Amino acid sequence: MTDPARPPVLLTLPDGQEIRATLLARRWTPAGWTYRVAAPLWSVTVRQTVEPVEYAIWVPADPRYIRPVPGVVYDRVPTEDPRTSTPAPAATGASLRWAWTVQPIRTGGPGRGTTTLVHEHGCPAAPAGGPELDLDEALTALARTGARACQTCAAAEVLTRL
């Protein structure tokens, strides 16, 4: 029997395959709903054997990525929606909206390429006039090979937890 707090969903992988995964949680973000899903996959152990593991990731609530299984009820899934709770009063002049920006960093000598450093928009270490990214765009930039989050602002603290 399926746990009502962990119902199945249909997850589309980047190569177009559709697999059955488990919905672990829902979260409202400034960029919209995201779903934490877990998929059973194979993993190589330190002994060079293969064993099943559950790989979990946050995905946008977009039918291109995740769809409900017909007939399944999702009302018992843990849900975080700060819009329905009473937020603490903001400090005078504080913004309740977070935005991010990226800084391309050259990696070594000629032909080495660049990597990405993700900053909170307005970070003193960020280059002036950088593009303003929403949360989903910032997480996508941080997922690039070699990308990292700034340690000066809230980027490392916030984005690496998602």
pLDDT digits (tens, 9 = 90+) for 42-96: 888 778 889 988 888 889 989 999 999 999 999 899 988 777 755 444 444 434 4
In this prediction, residues 34-49 reach a mean pLDDT of 86
Structural tokens at position 30: 């400034």
Is the distance from CB of 101 to CB of 126 less than 8 angstroms?
A: yes
Residue 54 tokens, joined: 């559950």
pLDDT at 111: 60
Give the model's confidence band at 18: pLDDT under 50 very low, under 70 low, under 90 confident, else very high: very high
Contact (Cβ atoms closer than 8 angstroms) between residue 21 and residue 38:
yes
Instruction: Check: pTM over 0.75? Answer yes or no.
Output: no
120: number of Cβ within 10 Å: 23
Tell me how far apart the alpha carbons of residues 94 and 63 are, in angstroms, rounded to a whole number: 35
Decide: 35 and 66 in contact? Cβ < 8 Å. Answer: yes
